[in-house]
Amino acid sequence: MAQSRLVSFLRDLLNITEYESEATKYMRDFMAQHPEELESQKKGRGVWWDKDAKERTAPPEAGHAPRSGGAEYTFRA
């Protein structure tokens, strides 16, 4: 993420660090220790997401819209 020089200067001046959650830290450390998981992630993505249009299932047909019962109130301005 690009930062302006002013923001960068103020962060340095005030000694502000960006927040990173414990979950994010854990995942970064885990991925650094287990680089083989990256290949597993790519393979899993291919199973679920990287599909040709012909391989995807057709969307379900749209159902019928409910019919009005005649008791709806019509608002007039």
Residue 11: partners with Cβ closer than 8 Å, 6 or more residues away = 3, 17
Q: Which long-range contacts (CB under 8 A, 24 or more apart) does 8-17 make?
A: none
30 is in which domain, residue-wise?
A: 19-45
pLDDT the model gives residue 53: 73
More confident residue, 5 or 69: 5
**Is residue 37 within 8 Å of 30, Cβ to Cβ?**
yes
Q: Is residue 11 part of a domain?
A: no
Model pTM greater than 0.85?
Answer: no
Q: Is residue 73 part of a domain?
A: no
More confident residue, 7 or 38: 38
The answer on pLDDT for 20 being more than 80 is yes
Question: How far apart, in Å, do the first and last CA atoms of the chain sit?
Answer: 50
pLDDT classification of 77: cutoffs 50, 70, 90: low
Q: Is residue 5 part of a domain?
A: no
pLDDT classification of 36: cutoffs 50, 70, 90: very high
Count structural domains, the chain.
1
Q: Is residue 74 part of a domain?
A: no
DSSP state of 56: S
The C-alpha R_g of the chain, in whole angstroms, comes to 26
Q: Is residue 23 part of a domain?
A: yes
